[in-house]
Amino acid sequence: MERKIKVVDVTLRDGEQTAGVVFANPEKIRIAKLLDAVGVDQIEAGIPTMGGDEKEVIKQIVDLGLKADIIGWSRAVVSDVQASIDCGVDAAAISISTSDIHIKNKLKKDRQWVLSNMAKAVEFAKKNQLYVSVNAEDASRTDMDFLIEFARIGREAGADRIRYCDTVGVLDPLTMYDNVKTLIEATGMAVETHTHNDFGMATANALAGAKAGATYMGVTVNGLGERAGNASLEEVIMTLEQLWDMKLGYDTTLLKQLSEYVAKASGRQLPVNKAIVGDNVFKHESGIHADGILKCAATYEAFLPEQVGLTRGIIIGKHSGSHAVLAKLAEHGYETDHDTAEQVLKRVRHMSIEMKRSLLDTELIDVYKEYMKL
């Protein structure tokens, strides 16, 4: 069944462009396999025209024979596209700036030059049977009339979709929605979102794009990427599957494993409060919350931990209540009464403040045994 919305992962390209991040080739292979196991539709594997190890690993990823289509990223330059063809990829992402600020200051060219170079590169890729995403770099700061013209000429050259890049992450969801809607209404072209997180709205902007009709969502694992990063794969996929209940068939149970692996390979530790996959997402300490969770998990959890490969934990500390103490002691085989739990809790609070942290299970058991003179 054809998915209504497809996920395009760019961790191995934009993610690796994060300052200071380099993936070893075996890490790239493993990340590609995990992405494929999750069911990601397209994997942007790297930049073939860099040559050397980069080109070699892209070929190796192609040779894995994954279900996902493999994309090679390139500039709108025929020799770049040729390097993608050499690797045997399924698709080319052909990128060129469309905003005047980029055209004048970076490229030092004019709009006409952009259109003709883009068209040449796209035509060359199509002649070589590649699926083509034509990427409008800095689309969000591009004059809309010019962006529409760019999309139309791209489509005439054979492009299959346009990547709408919020390259410096300056959109908010409402503006993103309006812009993507305008672009689709004017061109009828399939749109991919590519949103950066400079104002913390990358995921929200990607989803706003989908609401406006974009059918491809560009993401990276853990939101890795240039500067503040990109829309996060795990946040976007869980929104599609859980909040929007789209039943697209992505295997979300692998998300924690994928995030952990990319965190390790990139040397960027996963924050404990990272949405969807952080270690603390299913940890409960405060008395009212822990009590609610023990009675019915849905009281304070938006989804089940096993949906993303996490586990639930009740934490004993300063803000704990007696119900959690009772439950935690019972978990370790110590059945006790409410009055005892209250007394143990007083000591737990004191210790927690003294140590400025929650207690380990073994520390709680020690407090209990001491109180009971066991």
| Least Cβ distance, residue 364 to Mn ion (angstroms) | 47
Minimum distance between the CB of residue 1 and Mn ion, rounded to whole angstroms?
30
Shortest Å, Cβ 120 to Mn ion: 23
Q: Which residue is nearest to Mn ion (CB)?
A: 14
Cβ closest to Mn ion, residue 14 vs residue 27: 14
Least distance in Å: CB of 71 to Mn ion? 13
User: Toward Mn ion, which CB reaches closer, 197 or 320?
Assistant: 197
Q: Which is nearer to Mn ion, 139 or 359 (CB)?
A: 139
Minimum distance from residue 291 beta carbon to Mn ion (Å): 44
Helix (H) or strand (E) holding 216: strand 216-219
Angle at 373 between CA 371 and CA 374, to 5 degrees: 115
Residues facing 9 on adjacent strands = 43, 219
The CB-side HSE value for 215 (13 A sphere, CA atoms) comes to: 11
Q: State the minimum distance, in angstroms, from the CB of residue 53 to Mn ion.
A: 22
Neighbours of 311 (CB within 10 A): 10
β-strand 69-75 against 131-137: which pairing, if any?
Answer: unpaired
Q: Are 28 and 270 in contact (CB under 8 A)?
A: no
Q: Which is nearer to Mn ion, 44 or 241 (CB)?
A: 44
Q: Give the residue with the Cβ less far from Mn ion, 14 or 16.
A: 14
What is the number of other CB atoms lying within 10 angstroms of the CB of residue 258? 27
Comparing CB distances to Mn ion, the nearer of 27 and 226 is 226
Q: Hey, what are 16's tokens?
A: 């690796």
Q: Kindly identify the residues of this chain, within the stretch 334-363, that bind Mn ion according to CB under 5 A.
A: none
Q: Which helix (H) or strand (E) holds 327?
A: helix 322-331
Q: What part of residues 6-45 is at the interface with Mn ion (CB under 5 A)?
A: 14
Q: Which is nearer to Mn ion, 121 or 136 (CB)?
A: 136
Q: Which among 234, 235, 225, 162 has a CA at the least distance from the CA of 198? A: 225
Rounded CA separation 68/88 (Å): 14
Encoded amino acid at 82, one letter = Q
Q: Tokens 């790239």 sit at which residue?
A: 28
The residue count for binding Mn ion (CB under 5 A) is: 1
CB of 220 to Mn ion, least distance (A): 9
Report the interface residues with Mn ion, using CB under 5 A: 14
